[in-house]
Amino acid sequence: MNTFRPDLDTRARQLAASDPEVSAWVSANAGAGKTTVLRNRVLRLLLAGVDPGRILCLTFTKAAAAEMSNRVFAELARWVSLDDEALGNAIVDISGETASAERLGEARRLFARAIETPGGLRVDTIHGFCTRLLQAFPFEANVPARFTVLEDEEARELMARAQLGVLSSAVSGDVPALAEALARVREHVSARDFGPLVEAALGLRIWKSDAAQEPEFLAQLRQDLSQALEIVPGSTLKDIEEELWSPPQAALAKRAFAAWCQGSKTDKERAAELASIQTLEPAERLAAYEKLLLTRNGEEKVLRARKNQASIAALKADAEIEQVLQAEAERLLHLLDRLRAIETRERSLALISLAAAIRARFARLKSERAALDFDDLIAATRRLLTRVSSTFVLYKLDAAIEHLLVDEAQDTNSDYWAILRALASEFTAGSGARAGRRRTIFAVGDEKQSIYGFQGAEPKIFGEMRDLFAKDFRALSIEQNRELYRKIALNLSFRSTPDVLASVDAVFALEAHFEGLTADGGRPPDHVGIRRGEPGCVDLWPIIAKDETATVDPFVQPKLGALPASAEVKLARRIADELKRWIRQGCDLGRAVHPGDVLILVRRRGRMFEAVIRALKRAGVPVAGADRLSLSTHIAVEDLIAAGRAALLPEDDLTLAALLKSPLIGLDDDDLQRIAPQRNGSLRRALREAASGDPRLSQADQCLDAMRDAALSKSVFAFYAALLGPGHGRRALAARLGAEAAEASDEVLRLALAYERGGGTSLFSFLDALERSGADVKRDLSAARGEVRVMTVHGAKGLEAPIVLLADASGISPRAERLLSLPVYTHKQVPAWVPRIELDCAATLRARRQEATSRAREERRLLYVAMTRARDRLIVAGCPVNGKVPATSWYAMVRNALETKSPPGLIDLPAAPGGEPVKRWRLSTPSQVRPFKSAPQGSVPKSARPEWLDRVAPAEPIFRPPLRPSSVIDAADDRASGGFPAGRDGLLAGRFAHALLEHLPRIAPERRAAAA
């Protein structure tokens, strides 16, 4: 008999995890309530009497920190108004303990206590914590006393200035070392790829080490690269060239020449090649010798010795010539490997030298501003807390922090953990552990969801930290004879249906699929769902191929829809059509579908991402737009830039034409056709002449005049504020381009204000900076707002939706990075730049394979995150890659796992006319699906958009002194009137309000009116 009750078991685990007396490391499956456990632990710490100022809760993002803080304060605020019975039940729910009357009173006062604590309840990101810590100890940390933190766009601007300065010095030859380094780099990279390459070099993790700040950094890097590449530090290309044609090899060449001359026609051609090689320059000789003896094969294009180097006739002339040539080929392979290793070292040093010079200038620019970027915050804090002289700082922090809580521990890299380990060091050592103080650390995460490898996070670090903290607390637990540390697993999912969870377990039950999901490499535990009996399913849509390419006459305008559609466009149209049908008719799970129920995930922003958003808009399906906007290339921002440029230079016909067709003016092609062709003079002049008698053109003419006047008389911010506000530009952009256009407009306003605060005054200069800016706008799509959300899997982490569609599941990982990471010592890596696979040596080839393995592991963890976003229904779709579905793609992984999982396996649903059937995985039976009943028409009236929503709020009336002396007293009375009392009465009203808020929560609700 099965007596397992997951609800009771999970309840016990949640209570153990939130126990404020014991440190805990919680590993939780997706949807297992990690945030709830973290919130409950904070509440239980407060209930236990812990000072809110001694709790430090660190989250991964600002949004997560705000959400956690809001959850805690919302619960504390709710407690204030609950009666004794309801509050007692709430406390039992989070702690499992019955509360006394005294404790109920304390619980009601926690909200005020948390609010009044200096600094408040500390829920922050690691960067926010580091900022405050460095501001408290600037001299100990060796940072400016009143430093500012650079925002992303400010850091990009300073980095661009640093790059321009260094590259200008290199190009001019003012610094010969930089000129030589730049010349070497440009030998292997195109002008288009140069910028991204330098950016990648500037973002290497090597710059976060203390060694990168030392004067001998480049000399040490040469030593480390030589060791990693298995070459002598002083070796040069000339050494290889001399060794290639040493006397023994010259004698061997004569022997091979003689044998080949006695062989077949091919042998004689080789003999001629060998003879010509000896007359070449050393560098050319090496390449020709390689072509003679070696060949490339396989996807990695690895050099190998040619087989059958000599014919039978040549073997008769020299029976051992085949073995001799094979041995020579192996020697040549070894020489070429050393040669490529030396080239890799010199090439990498040249690139890193450029990057080091740029970062040095970037550091000087930051120093001039007394500013730190986000990397500086982490590096300075780590140095502050881990060096020998940090005793005083740790002592001060030891008195301030008693409970450390870490959210999303799987996304925390080694640099962050070094800081956290230093903060918690006194929890288990010295007097801090034995002074009778209750000190705890709490970490919660899911190693299977570690998808930020580019930031240095990986499941291995998650497992290592879990074991390190267990070791730290073990000795103290024995000494105090009580439990001080727990490892807890939360496997019960509150999110997904059994169908979705079973499909996840099936996919990751295969060894090839679960490898890399966990720190120990083992199979992850199966998921248990609380939503038993609720219907769900997993659908695999057929792979959609592109239309056959048709011959198109370039001189004939094709009819609309006549051109062949790409696979991405066809799939996007199907997605839009299906969602539109579900919203109108309901889906086959027996429930209504609203646009906000759907979350469409892609692996990366690209053609599929744009095609889906475009298809949904054309189909009339409400869509939230992109989750991240590239500001300088967004069409709304381009329209605003065109407005600024046209206002400054009306004679720029092309820019003016683009502005006229934008939502800011609202003309169309027909309007332009009436004034642009056969015009005399500029387009602006033609518009002015045609404006009389035409209301549309007249309004456009007036708008342009207003823009011109504003550009000449107002500041940058005032220009755009007038255009977007009273000029209704924001409303016009949002109406045509969607809500994301409004957010892009707001960002332009924010940048304009920041530009002015930085001393900028020129509209032209602002426009130039805006166009060159690589700034992105991150949009918060965490809450469903009645619109379909289209996001990357990284952006959707932590979110959920009833229906999740993986739109590009048949894609594959991007090609390998050209900047590889080579191991030197156990915990040290050095960068190596290999522009092409053909230039790999043995060491870089191993690193490339290791990188591919790591990337594949993270791709599998990314699939886990994507699948577990679904509550009820998961849809897997994709397009072919080179005409087929790659075996390593998500689509193939899901299909292969579900096909072999019996029961139920994949079943074919009836296909649409002319289409292929959808394959479905379902554990729930059709009888569990409730018939869909559409909502009666008119049951939810649709309210019209009120006018005031888009109207600027009227300004407050300005008091003007009366002109007649007899009106002074009446005017004073008018000025004092309003919604709030003035003077002494206002102060008294405020005291009354505060007194009511302070005393009424302690009184039963039915008695509060009388007491007030």
The enclosing domain of 890 has a CATH number of: 3.40.50.300
Question: Does residue 359 have a pLDDT over 80?
Answer: yes
Whether residue 508 lies inside any domain: the answer is no
What does the pLDDT read at residue 931? 47
- Do 407 and 271 share a domain, yes or no? no
Same domain, 618 and 684: no
Pairing mode, strands 122-125 and 440-445: unpaired
Residue 881, φ and ψ in degrees, nearest 5? -110, 115
Looking at the structure, do residues 304 and 430 belong to the same domain, yes or no?
no
Q: What are the φ and ψ backbone dihedral angles of 833, each rounded to 5 degrees?
A: -105, 115
Considering the domain architecture, whether residues 411 and 350 belong to the same structural domain is answered as no
Return the closest-CA partner of residue 408 out of 146, 733, 26. 26
Q: Is residue 946 part of a domain?
A: no
Average pLDDT score over residue span 533-543: 91
Query: For residue 238, what pLDDT is reported?
Result: 85
Report CA-CA distances (Å) from 43 to 46, 90, 112, 325, 502: 5, 11, 14, 77, 34
Predicted pLDDT of residue 693: 81
Q: Domain end: 493, 508, 528, which one? A: 493
* pTM metric for this prediction: 0.84
Three-state DSSP state, 305: strand
Reading the block at residue 627, the tokens are 């989750």
Cβ atoms within 10 Å, residue 546: 16
Asked if the structure places residue 678 within a domain, the reply is yes
Q: Which helix (H) or strand (E) holds 124?
A: strand 122-125
pLDDT in tens, 90-132: 999 999 889 899 999 999 999 999 888 877 788 999 999 999 9
Structural domain contains residue 68: yes
**Cβ pair 456, 414 in contact under 8 A:** yes
Residue 881 gets which letter from DSSP?
B
Say yes or no to pLDDT of 976 above 60.
no
Backbone angles phi, psi at 811, to 5 degrees: -75, 175
Same domain, yes or no: 861 and 726: no
Q: Give yes or no: residues 300 and 334 share one domain.
A: yes
Tokens 């000072």 belong to which residue?
A: 51
Give dist(CA 362, CA 744) in Å, integer. Answer: 28
Give the separation between CA 179 and CA 330, rounded to whole angstroms: 37
Determine the pLDDT at residue 943. 45
Percent of the chain with pLDDT over 70: 88
Distances (CA, A) of 399 to 24, 41, 417, 437, 860: 21, 21, 20, 10, 43
User: Does pLDDT of 934 surpass 70?
Assistant: no
Q: What is the pLDDT of residue 962?
A: 53
Q: Of 305, 329, 363, which closes a domain?
A: 363
* 586 and 475 in a common domain: no
Give the span between the Cα atoms of 38 and 33, in whole angstroms. Answer: 9
Asked if residue 266 is part of any domain, the answer here is yes
- In-domain check, residue 179: no
Q: How much is the average pLDDT of 599-611?
A: 92
At 732, which CATH number? Answer: 1.10.486.10
pLDDT band for position 2 (50/70/90)? very low
Average pLDDT over residues 851-860: 92
CA gap 163, 200 in Å, rounded:
13
pLDDT of residue 245: 73
Helix (H, G, I), strand (E, B) or coil at 403: strand
DSSP sequence for 436-483 = S---EEEEEE-GGG---GGGT--HHHHHHHHHHHHHHHHHHHHHHTS-
Segment among 181-195, 505-519, 948-962 with least mean pLDDT:
948-962
- Answer yes or no: do 139 and 283 share one domain: no
Q: Are residues 808 and 912 in the same domain?
A: yes
pLDDT higher than threshold 90 for residue 273: no
Report residue 33 as tokens: 């309530």
Task: Please report the pLDDT score of residue 86 as a whole number.
Answer: 93
Domain count, the chain: 5
Is residue 360 over pLDDT 90?
yes
Range 268-277 average pLDDT: 84
Count CB-CB contacts under 10 A for residue 146: 8
What one-character DSSP code corresponds to residue 98? P
What does the mean pLDDT of the chain come to?
Answer: 85
- Which residue range(s) make up the domain with 575? 537-549+562-625+785-813+851-928
Helical segments of 714-841, H only:
716-724, 729-737, 739-757, 763-772, 793-796
Could you tell me which residue, 966 or 422, shows the higher pLDDT?
422
Q: Where are the alpha helices (DSSP H) in 232-371?
A: 237-244, 247-261, 265-277, 282-293, 312-317, 321-369
pLDDT bucket at 978, cuts 50 / 70 / 90 = very low
At 485, is the secondary structure helix, strand, or coil?
strand
Q: Are residues 806 and 674 in the same domain?
A: no
What's the whole-number mean pLDDT along residues 695-709? 93
Indicate whether 170 belongs to any domain: no
The predicted model gives 673-694 an average pLDDT of 89
What span, in angstroms and rounded, lies between the C-alpha atoms of 769 and 847? 39
Predicted pLDDT of residue 251: 76
H or E element that contains 894: helix 890-900
Q: Can you give the pLDDT at residue 184?
A: 94
In a domain, 747, yes or no: yes
DSSP conformation class of 234 = T
Give the pLDDT of residue 396. 82
Residues 6+ apart with CB under 8 A from 664: 639, 640, 643, 703, 723, 727, 729, 732, 733
Residues 136 and 241 in one domain: no
- Quick check: 963 pLDDT over 90? no
What are the tokens at 511? 């060894």
Return the top range by mean pLDDT from 249-258, 382-391, 452-461, 698-707: 698-707
pLDDT in tens, 796-816: 998 999 999 999 999 887 665
> What is the model's pLDDT at position 948?
55
pLDDT at 298: 62
Looking at the structure, tell me whether residues 621 and 669 fall in a common domain. no
- Say whether pLDDT at 933 is over 50: no
Domain end among 298, 328, 363: 363
